[in-house]
Chain A
Amino acid sequence: MAVIAFREALNQAMCEEMERDPNVFLMGEEVGQYQGAYKVSQGMLQKFGEKRVIDTPITEAGFAGLGIGAAMVGLRPIVEMMTWNFAILAFDQLFNNAAKIRYMSAGQFKVPMVVRGPSGAAHALASQHSQALESILAHVPGLIVVMPSTPADGKGLLKSAIRDDNPVMFMESEMMYGQKGEVPEEEYMIPIGVGDIKRKGDHVTIVAWSKMLHVSLAAADELMKEGIEAEVIDPRTIRPLDEDLIINSIKKTNRCVIVEEAWPFASVGSEIASRIYAKAFDYLDAPVERVNGADIPMPYAHNLEMLALPSVPKVVAAVKKVLYR
């Protein structure tokens, strides 16, 4: 297996799908000439030309809507948002059009489109550039929400997303683009809606995705030193959620900590906790513990930002709490 960075894995996924299907194209701010704000689309303009790698003006609602219209008549757009924070300007397009056209038209139209870009905090980007918005997107029926945490998952899931006939919201992370990992040489796909056990353990289940998966794995290493074996579950897809994987793990460990970067109010973590209480209540030996980003707009100052984000010590403490240790 080759070891490549997350951004290269995403780049490979897009290139392979564009080579396979001429109706797939990439559109977004700085994706072409500039080679991608985060270099995810590096080399793609040279490979596919201006017709299929399209630099847009800064007009998120405009080009998201354009992508939806194009998808309605047979194209398969990949719309890159420089960050999901900017995509908020396009949420009307995503919520009212992409998510609803299939339903409102009674199945006469479909919207096979991927909207992708980084989500969550990076370093010192302050309030407006540091939001983890997956719960807002996952709230809307009609949208699929995917959040990979490794290069291999990123590639396999992005290929599935591009081939999916639904609008797929694909959320990456600035902090993970340079992260390296093993990626199979041969072509492969990872199905949407199937989670993954990233680490096996019997004492506690930690559910985490995207960047928080890595915080959770680091916490699991720490816990191991004290003889606590954490099972770390990565749902990989937020909607549809691989509920069975989570519930089955809790039936084994009887304890659960959910780690997410997003705000705690009405979050994906709240949804998962609610499902655990509904479907595994009798298996729980402790209330579900949640580690979230602080319930505030993100501050700029480094020390405050670190305090606002979930961290290894916070996850370790939460695990000990559910273990009554």
Chain B
Amino acid sequence: MSTATLKKEAREVKAPRWKDIGLSNAKVIDLYRQMLLIRRFEERAAQEYGKSKIGGFCHLYIGQEAVGVGAIAALREDDYIFSAYRDHGHALARGMDPKAIMAELFGKYTGCSKGVGGSMHMFDAQRGFMGGYGIVGGHIPLASGTAFASKYLGKDSVTICFFGEAAANQGVFHETLNLAALWKLPVVFICENNRFGMGTAVERSTAVWDIYQKASAYNMTRQWVDGMDVVEMYRVVKESIDRARETNEPTMLEARTYRFRGHSMSDPIHGHYRTKEEVEEQKKSDPILTFGHELLTANILSQSVIDEMELEIKKTVEESVEFAEHSPEPPPDALFENVYV
């Protein structure tokens, strides 16, 4: 299950592959830009964490950007997204304001959850961003609920639900897949297999290493996807979403990816559970570098455009930090707001 090997084969035969799946050059450039924004945003967030401007748990998405960006690009505005605790990238990919996300990380009242949610609990009702959730696997049943509601109300909104491979060992993962398959609910489960549940490698935590095959127990359509390839992510998620929209058929996807940073900010990049060499090897599949290279090679992007993009993103990120820094803390009254309706 080496992601690197499988991915290279796919790349060499298919460029420029996105024409076949309805992606314009402008759109793929935007996918690249979104991945870069997430990367730079989180690198900056890590710096602010180091300065104690951001507290608590802070789980970076660095390395996994192609999964969220490709998947979310396949959605309509009226679709729903559930995320877990590694949710900054998903929020950015959904078009949430970087300022509101950074302010949330800073615990400010201008944050997307007014500072009460924090890193793990970003919400944006207007964008169908149904939240980031901190109990491993605990949010998976909720996704079947919005999918159920779509069907009940006769709407064709589809739900996608992100979670890690470790969540697929939880009971509610299986309970939800059973319900979604039994009742034909329009939901796409996207397992981001980054190979580690905190510090425990997938081989040490699950009897079945092909996570997508767990869905075979529920006779659910399933496949693995190269999670380091944003175009592949888009293609497969789009197919799954279209199927869900048209036939209410759920799908289970396993995006094979890798996290370049520690599990959270308090956890080293490598240590007892993986070697520096392994991380360096995986970084050769960096979804941003490889896709950038592909776009350069295909003359879709030039280095000067990339440089310009970097500058623009740097400005956006700096503005978000500036905004967060100068935003007010939640007022004391906010302590008791929104406990009950």
Interface residues of A (CB under 8 A from B): 23, 25, 51, 56-57, 59, 61-75, 92-93, 96-97, 101-110, 112, 141-142, 144, 164-166
Contacts and interface: CB of A to CB of B under 8 A. Distances in A.
B341 A62 contact: no
Contacts of B130: 69, 72, 109
B31 interface: no
B279 interface: no
Contact of A64 (B141, B150, B152, B153): B141
B80 A61 contact: no
Given A62-B141, A102-B339, 15 more contacts: A62-B144, A62-B178, A65-B144, A65-B176, A69-B148, A70-B149, A73-B145, A73-B150, A75-B149, A96-B135, A104-B113, A104-B116, A106-B115, A106-B116, A108-B124
B141 A65 contact: yes
A25 B152 contact: yes
B143 interface: yes
22 contacts: A23-B153, A25-B152, A62-B144, A62-B178, A65-B145, A66-B142, A66-B148, A69-B142, A70-B148, A73-B149, A74-B149, A74-B153, A75-B148, A75-B152, A97-B138, A104-B116, A106-B113, A106-B123, A108-B113, A108-B125, A109-B123, A166-B340
A105 B113 contact: yes
Contacts of B114: 106
Contacts of B139: 65, 97
Nearest to B341: A165
B121 interface: yes
B145 A71 contact: yes
Interface in B148-174: 148-150, 152-153, 159, 171-172
Interface string B207-249: 0000000000000000000000000000000000000000000
A110 B123 CA distance: 12
Nearest to A165: B341
B334 to A, nearest CB: 8
A144 B152 CA distance: 26
Contact of B182 (A57, A69, A71, A166): A57
Given A61-B141, A104-B116, A72 B339 contact: no
Contacts of B176: 62, 65-66
B281 interface: no
Contacts of A144: 340
A224 B133 CA distance: 55
Contacts of B178: 57, 59, 62
Contacts of B179: 56-57, 59, 62-63, 66
A107 B115 CA distance: 12
B197 interface: no
Nearest to A77: B145
Nearest to B132: A104
A66 B338 CA distance: 22
B251 interface: no
B308 interface: no
A142 B339 contact: yes
A74 to B, nearest CB: 7
Interface string B323-341: 0000000000000011111
Contacts of B125: 105, 108-109
B171 A68 contact: no
B257 interface: no
A65 B135 contact: no
A64 B142 CA distance: 9
Nearest to B176: A62
A52 B159 CA distance: 21
A72 B152 contact: no
A62 B125 CA distance: 23
Contacts of B159: 69
B319 interface: no
A107 B178 CA distance: 31
B117 A104 contact: yes
B341 A166 contact: yes
Contact of B131 (A25, A70, A74, A104): A104
A72 B171 contact: no
Nearest to A142: B339
B99 to A, nearest CB: 16
Interface centre among A70, A93, A110, A165 (most CB of B within 10 A): A70
A103 B116 contact: yes
Q: Please name the 7 residue pairs, one residue from A and one from B, whose CB atoms are nearest each other, closest first.
A: A69-B145, A65-B141, A62-B175, A106-B114, A69-B142, A165-B341, A105-B123
